[in-house]
Structure 1
Amino acid sequence: MHNSIDLEENTATVVNNTAIVEEKGKFTVTVSGNNKLLHLSYGEVFTTPNSKQPWKILAMHASVLEH
Protein backbone atom coordinates (compact mmCIF):
# COMPACT_ATOMS: atom_id res chain seq x y z
CA MET A 1 0.00 0.00 0.00
CA HIS A 2 1.28 3.49 -0.88
CA ASN A 3 1.28 5.78 2.15
CA SER A 4 2.83 8.83 0.51
CA ILE A 5 4.76 9.90 -2.58
CA ASP A 6 7.28 12.75 -2.67
CA LEU A 7 7.79 13.57 -6.37
CA GLU A 8 11.22 14.91 -7.29
CA GLU A 9 10.84 15.08 -11.09
CA ASN A 10 7.85 14.78 -13.42
CA THR A 11 7.67 15.19 -17.20
CA ALA A 12 5.02 14.32 -19.75
CA THR A 13 5.47 14.27 -23.51
CA VAL A 14 2.47 13.91 -25.83
CA VAL A 15 2.87 13.14 -29.53
CA ASN A 16 -0.32 12.54 -31.50
CA ASN A 17 -2.20 9.82 -29.58
CA THR A 18 0.70 8.67 -27.37
CA ALA A 19 1.89 10.09 -24.04
CA ILE A 20 5.07 9.23 -22.15
CA VAL A 21 5.23 10.12 -18.46
CA GLU A 22 8.59 9.99 -16.65
CA GLU A 23 8.83 10.50 -12.90
CA LYS A 24 11.23 10.15 -10.02
CA GLY A 25 10.29 10.16 -6.36
CA LYS A 26 10.36 8.66 -2.90
CA PHE A 27 7.54 6.31 -1.99
CA THR A 28 6.60 5.40 1.57
CA VAL A 29 4.88 2.02 1.38
CA THR A 30 3.62 -0.66 3.73
CA VAL A 31 4.65 -4.23 2.88
CA SER A 32 3.57 -7.08 5.17
CA GLY A 33 2.89 -4.56 7.95
CA ASN A 34 6.33 -2.91 7.65
CA ASN A 35 6.90 0.65 6.41
CA LYS A 36 9.58 1.05 3.74
CA LEU A 37 11.01 4.00 1.81
CA LEU A 38 11.62 3.33 -1.89
CA HIS A 39 13.46 5.76 -4.16
CA LEU A 40 12.12 5.02 -7.66
CA SER A 41 12.42 6.18 -11.23
CA TYR A 42 9.52 5.09 -13.39
CA GLY A 43 7.95 5.60 -16.77
CA GLU A 44 4.51 5.00 -18.21
CA VAL A 45 3.24 4.95 -21.80
CA PHE A 46 -0.39 5.82 -22.56
CA THR A 47 -2.45 5.89 -25.76
CA THR A 48 -5.89 7.07 -26.83
CA PRO A 49 -7.67 6.48 -30.16
CA ASN A 50 -8.92 10.10 -30.18
CA SER A 51 -9.51 13.11 -27.93
CA LYS A 52 -12.99 11.91 -26.92
CA GLN A 53 -11.76 8.55 -25.61
CA PRO A 54 -10.00 7.91 -22.27
CA TRP A 55 -6.25 7.33 -22.08
CA LYS A 56 -5.19 3.69 -21.58
CA ILE A 57 -1.89 2.56 -20.15
CA LEU A 58 0.24 0.41 -22.47
CA ALA A 59 3.39 -0.06 -20.39
CA MET A 60 4.98 0.82 -17.06
CA HIS A 61 8.51 0.33 -15.79
CA ALA A 62 10.08 1.19 -12.44
CA SER A 63 13.69 1.05 -11.24
CA VAL A 64 15.00 1.39 -7.70
CA LEU A 65 17.46 4.28 -7.23
CA GLU A 66 20.08 4.50 -4.52
CA HIS A 67 19.13 6.76 -1.58
Structure 2
Amino acid sequence: MPVAFPDIGDIIADLISHLLAVVRLIRDTPARTLVDNLVRGPRHLGGPPAAEVGDAIVNGYVGR
Protein backbone atom coordinates (compact mmCIF):
# COMPACT_ATOMS: atom_id res chain seq x y z
CA MET A 1 0.00 0.00 0.00
CA PRO A 2 1.47 3.40 -0.91
CA VAL A 3 2.07 5.89 1.86
CA ALA A 4 0.12 9.12 1.46
CA PHE A 5 2.21 12.23 1.93
CA PRO A 6 0.56 15.61 2.43
CA ASP A 7 0.44 17.89 -0.56
CA ILE A 8 3.00 20.74 -0.51
CA GLY A 9 0.10 23.20 -0.61
CA ASP A 10 -1.33 21.67 2.57
CA ILE A 11 2.05 21.90 4.28
CA ILE A 12 2.43 25.58 3.34
CA ALA A 13 -1.14 26.36 4.42
CA ASP A 14 -0.54 24.69 7.80
CA LEU A 15 2.75 26.54 8.25
CA ILE A 16 1.13 29.90 7.48
CA SER A 17 -1.73 29.09 9.84
CA HIS A 18 0.68 28.30 12.67
CA LEU A 19 2.76 31.42 12.01
CA LEU A 20 -0.34 33.62 12.05
CA ALA A 21 -1.42 32.03 15.34
CA VAL A 22 1.97 32.88 16.87
CA VAL A 23 1.75 36.46 15.58
CA ARG A 24 -1.74 36.82 17.09
CA LEU A 25 -0.52 35.40 20.39
CA ILE A 26 2.44 37.79 20.53
CA ARG A 27 0.30 40.77 19.52
CA ASP A 28 -2.30 39.99 22.21
CA THR A 29 0.27 39.46 24.97
CA PRO A 30 1.30 42.53 26.99
CA ALA A 31 4.93 43.56 26.46
CA ARG A 32 5.67 43.13 30.15
CA THR A 33 4.58 39.47 30.03
CA LEU A 34 6.75 38.82 26.98
CA VAL A 35 9.77 40.39 28.67
CA ASP A 36 9.15 38.41 31.86
CA ASN A 37 8.94 35.19 29.85
CA LEU A 38 12.15 35.98 27.99
CA VAL A 39 14.15 36.49 31.20
CA ARG A 40 12.55 33.69 33.21
CA GLY A 41 15.37 31.27 32.34
CA PRO A 42 18.27 33.53 33.44
CA ARG A 43 16.38 34.46 36.61
CA HIS A 44 16.27 30.81 37.66
CA LEU A 45 20.02 30.57 37.08
CA GLY A 46 20.75 33.27 39.65
CA GLY A 47 20.32 36.35 37.48
CA PRO A 48 18.43 39.48 38.50
CA PRO A 49 14.68 39.23 39.12
CA ALA A 50 12.63 39.32 35.95
CA ALA A 51 10.81 42.47 37.09
CA GLU A 52 14.09 44.43 37.29
CA VAL A 53 15.26 43.23 33.89
CA GLY A 54 11.81 43.83 32.41
CA ASP A 55 11.75 47.39 33.76
CA ALA A 56 15.21 48.04 32.33
CA ILE A 57 14.22 46.76 28.89
CA VAL A 58 10.85 48.54 28.82
CA ASN A 59 12.37 51.81 30.05
CA GLY A 60 15.20 51.64 27.52
CA TYR A 61 18.13 51.18 29.91
CA VAL A 62 19.46 48.07 28.17
CA GLY A 63 21.87 48.49 25.31
CA ARG A 64 22.77 52.13 25.94
Fold conserved between structures, TM > 0.5: no
Larger Rg: 1 or 2?
2
Q: Per residue, is there more helix in 1 or in 2?
A: 2
- Normalization by structure 1: what TM-score? 0.20
Q: Per residue, is there more strand in 1 or in 2?
A: 1
